[in-house]
Amino acid sequence: MFRQLTTDTLNWILIIGVILFVIELTFYHGGMLINALFFSLLIYIGRKKYHSLFGKVIFWVGVVGIVFAILNMLAIRFLIIAAIILFLIHYSKSKKESAYLHPKEFKQREETNETIIRKQPLFDHKLFDDQRTEEPSYQWKDVNIHGAFGDRIIDLSNTVLPNDTAIISIRHMVGNIEIYVPYDVEVSIHHSSLFGRALIFGHFHEKLMNKTLLYQTENYNTKFPRVKVITSLLSGDIEVKRV
């Protein structure tokens, strides 16, 4: 069933779940999370003393308690209801027509006398915003960012890459990543995703569920300029294509 979900639908479910979890922590003084921590402690103690009757009782009381504590969380309740609704929708569609999948594009502190120059990075760390490279042109600097929600777009056709290995490292939670690479640039791509899709130089992956992809152009090890791309997503799509 989850393989039939679009990435955007799954992203919205995750976002709402996180919001409900934060609301419970903020307005309900921790809500059932405190109870869950308490029952986790009982499980730990019971596990240590499981050879005795007391340990067995404490252990299973903790197990039952933590299950009920987790099920009573607002975020978990929402995810269960969402899963039931999605199951009913999917079941209803499957009874009416067959499902067809059509691939499509998507979008130490050290003292030194050495003189150093501080430069502005291409991107700052942003949790709740989209980011893209400047237009029409910009000076290249290696990218090393992390974020929570939003899209990341990097167009390498608007810059001059060094005659060396340029680095793009993006660690992101929910959102899409788009990278546009000129034809004369060699590329290595290492992408991992919990949920999402990938379109890498025409190679389409419809559903990535806890998967890692590794692609490399034929002359990457011998020619310059070249770009090493390392990306990780909790939920989202990645597209890498030539421009």
Residues 204-229: pLDDT tens digits?
988 888 889 999 999 999 999 999 99
Residue that finishes a domain, picked among 96, 121, 148? 96
pLDDT at 129: 65
Could you give the percent of the chain with pLDDT greater than 90? 23
Single out the residue of 101, 107, 149, 106 nearest to residue 5, CA to CA: 101
Residue that finishes a domain, picked among 96, 113, 142? 96
pLDDT at 179: 93
For 86, residues 6+ apart whose C-beta sits below 8 A from its C-beta are 1, 5
Residue 83 lies in a domain: yes
| Residue range of the domain that includes 153 | 131-242
Are residues 233 and 137 located together in one domain of the fold?
Answer: yes
Residue 102 lies in a domain: no
State which amino acid sits at residue 166: A
16 touches 78 (CB < 8 A)? yes
CA 191 → CA 45, 150, 156, distances in Å?
Answer: 40, 18, 18
pLDDT band at 192 (very low <50, low <70, confident <90, very high): very high
pLDDT at 109: 47
Q: What is the mean pLDDT of the chain?
A: 79
Residue 202 lies in a domain: yes
Residue that finishes a domain, picked among 96, 111, 145? 96
Are residues 214 and 152 located together in one domain of the fold?
Answer: yes
Residue 108 lies in a domain: no
Number of domains in the chain: 2
For 196, residues 6+ apart whose C-beta sits below 8 A from its C-beta are 7, 208, 233, 235, 236, 237, 238
Within 13 A of 212's CA, how many CA atoms are on the CB side?
A: 3
The predicted-structure confidence for 26-81, as pLDDT tens digits, reads as follows 776 666 677 778 888 888 888 888 888 888 888 888 888 888 877 777 777 777 78
What is the pTM for the complete model shown?
0.57
